[in-house]
Amino acid sequence: MSNYPYTRLRRLRTQAFSRDLTQEHHVKASDLVLPVFIQEGTRKRTAVEVMPGVERLSIDELLHEIETLEALGVRAINLYAKIDQEKKNNDGSEAYNEQGLAQRAIREIKVRFPKMGVMPDVALDPYTSHGQDGILDEQGRILNDESVQAMTMQALSLADAGADIVAPSDMMDGRTLSIREGLEAAGFIDVGILAYAAKYASNFYGPFREAVGSNTNLGQADKRTYQMNPANSDEALREVQLDLEEGADIIMVKPGMPYLDIVHRVKTEFGVPVAVYQVSGEYAMLKAASQKGWLNEQKTVLEAVLGMKRAGADMIFTYYAKDIAKWLKES
């Protein structure tokens, strides 16, 4: 039964102050995590053509970037290394090289910017000659347990370098437990685990693979034997529950906008810290449409990340993090 005209929901929409006072969800700079790609060299910035505005950075250039991020209020980065082809092999052993690119970068970041949260990726695909997230047998099948062992070694090397939170993104079974046990045994009891618990075999990852240099190695192969079927949602809750039982501190849902129903279900069901990743394909679409003049970039991007917060995300991984922080500061 309507209470009109006594109830008029438009009353609180008529002026800016009342709209602001009744706004239910907000995006803050401290909600954002910037994924960054690093490369060897000095004073080196290499544009990622399929992601306009995104660059691979040498470590010294990354430090300049972090200085800007801190000034804008962005408090965490997600680190990916692009290594030279000759360092890649079937086992991805460069991933746990104590003097590897990611490990060196973390050490330098923590010297210069000890308060910046560093969340390096834990996965083998940037380091394998075949571009898969795990080790292959002679028939080309992913060896789950051997891959988990390698990624545990990777996580330990990153923690030893100074990582605050390690972020296994591979979707191998049991890797969260293995990493947690490894961290505990090595004394890294305060290092968190951000588990990509609901990571889908998505077509939205294409530009990322170009940025990290795994697309050529992967070729026509796919990752459907370990990443989730985009048609499934109940399965995501099983994955999340297992990762929480194995010691995960934060749960990641990836990609973002096409999977906000999963974000909402995870937050409602478990009430734990939830991250969402606005992935490279989402970024590329927004950027391309904006460059064409078909969308207002600032307003559309802010709407997109606000939707992620509304769905239940506590933190948002986005290549727009620096831009968003600037827009928020200006407003």
**DSSP annotation string for 282-303:** HHHHHHHHHHTTSS-HHHHHHH
- Quick check: is 287 catalytic? no
254 is catalytic: yes
- Amino acid sitting at position 151: M
Buried b / exposed e across 27-48, counting CB within 10 Å, b at 16+? bebebbbbbbbbbeeeeeeeeb
* Strand locations in the chain (E): 32-38, 45-47, 55-57, 76-81, 117-122, 135-136, 142-143, 165-168, 192-199, 250-254, 274-278, 315-318
End-to-end CA gap in the chain:
40
Q: What is the pLDDT of residue 218?
A: 64
pTM: 0.94
- Write down the pLDDT at residue 206: 81
- CATH superfamily for 29-330 is Aldolase class I (3.20.20.70)
Task: Return the pLDDT at 331.
Answer: 86
Q: What is the pLDDT of residue 88?
A: 93
Q: Which residues of the chain have pLDDT under 50?
A: none
pLDDT of residue 220: 66
Integer Rg of the chain from CA: 20
The pLDDT score that the predictor gives to residue 259 is 98
Catalytic residue among 82, 199, 287, 322: 199
In this predicted structure, what is the pLDDT of residue 249?
Answer: 97
pLDDT of residue 68: 98
Single out the catalytic residue among 223, 254, 309, 322: 254
Q: Tokens for 122, please give them.
A: 């834990």
